Amino acid sequence: MAEPNSGNLISAIVTSVAARRRVLLGGAVLVGLGWVGSTAWRVSQGPLRNSPHYQISVESVQISPPPPWVRVDIRSTAIDRAAMQGPLSVIDPEQSIARIAQAFRGEPWVRKVNRVELQAPNGARVDLQWRQPLAVVELATDAGLVLTPLDAESVRLPSAGLHDGELRRLPRITHIQDAPPEGEAWANPQVNGAVALISSLGPAWTRLSLADVVPSRMPEIRGDQQFYQYELLTIGGTRIYWGAAPGVPADEPAFNAKLTTLQQFVQREQVRLDSDYSPKTIDLRHGFDTTKRIAKKNDGKRTAQAPDDPDSEVVK
């Protein structure tokens, strides 16, 4: 076997070392250029971020078309809130998108922010899901009776922009003593049960001429179960003893069974629950029971358009 040529071996080693040095030097140059470019970009971002040409303003923000019941422009308060931490600029997209999304989530009328997209040179498009009033909570205050709207998730909504007549026509939840700030949900189980009942009734609420939901002031205790009972008042003044809210494991017929029983009675007997001649009471808690009115009493009639006390003032 021939011995390796020492001269060739040394030459190969020198060539390999030189190649590695060139690679390392090239990498160092690229890293240096990247650092210089990054530093230069960060330095230049300041003036660009503060430039009005790239700053996001209220007028440059587009949102999903609001529904008819939202009559206030929420963009102003949302963008002002987002800009409290500094200018909103398309030059800083990640931070601007996060702050805009968080600001719109804080708007009481907004249920969900689906997407925020920045648009050149200084615009933004915000895709929103809106909340819808389901009912009102009647609260007694020094100013009179206040009708406070809420949605199907028990979130308190603003009354600003809603007309007094619109509030009065919504299902009314009574006997509630407190309310959370706008945009926050009631933690009160009385309210949550009433909302579940109204939501479950759906279109039947109007067909049955219902006006109020009255929760019991104290929960009912049956064994290890504890729950609130609910009464429904009709426009004609009938008091319907409904019982527990939907889904509550009370020793009562299920929600659908109660609703079917009530609807069949109304249809079979041709009962108008918006009339003074409707029954005095209907009890659905353990089957079906009803009592007739002894005499026509106009002062007992309950309407969705007027408070219990005609002298009470409803303020928005």
pLDDT for 142 equals 84
pLDDT band at 9 (very low <50, low <70, confident <90, very high): very low
pLDDT for 23 equals 46
Q: Which amino acid is at 237?
A: G
Residue 307 C-beta-side C-alpha neighbours within 13 Å: 19
Query: Whose CA is closest to 171, among 211, 201, 137, 140?
Result: 211
Average pLDDT over the chain, rounded to whole? 84
Q: Residue 138 in contact with residue 147, Cβ under 8 Å?
A: yes
**Boundaries of CATH 3.10.20 in the chain?**
58-130
Residue 192: partners with Cβ closer than 8 Å, 6 or more residues away = 154, 186, 245
Helix (H, G, I), strand (E, B) or coil at 282: strand
Q: Class for domain 58-130, per CATH?
A: alpha beta
> Helices (DSSP H) in the chain: which residue ranges?
6-49, 75-82, 93-105, 164-169, 189-201, 204-207, 255-269
pLDDT at 13 over 60: no
pLDDT at 38 over 70: no
Q: Extract the tokens encoding 69.
A: 């019941």
pLDDT tens by residue, 209-262:
999 999 999 999 888 888 999 999 999 999 999 999 998 877 899 999 999 999
More confident residue, 161 or 24: 161
What is the distance, to the nearest Å, from the Cα of residue 165 to the centroid of all Cα atoms in its chain? 23
pLDDT tens by residue, 71-110:
999 999 999 999 988 889 889 999 999 999 999 999 999 9
Q: At what angle do helices 75-82 and 93-105 cross, to 10 degrees?
A: 130
pLDDT for 118 equals 95
Distance from C-alpha of 48 to C-alpha of 93, rounded to nearest angstrom: 13
Distance from C-alpha of 172 to C-alpha of 167, rounded to nearest angstrom: 9
Count Cβ atoms below 10 Å from residue 76 Cβ, excluding itself: 12
pLDDT for 298 equals 54
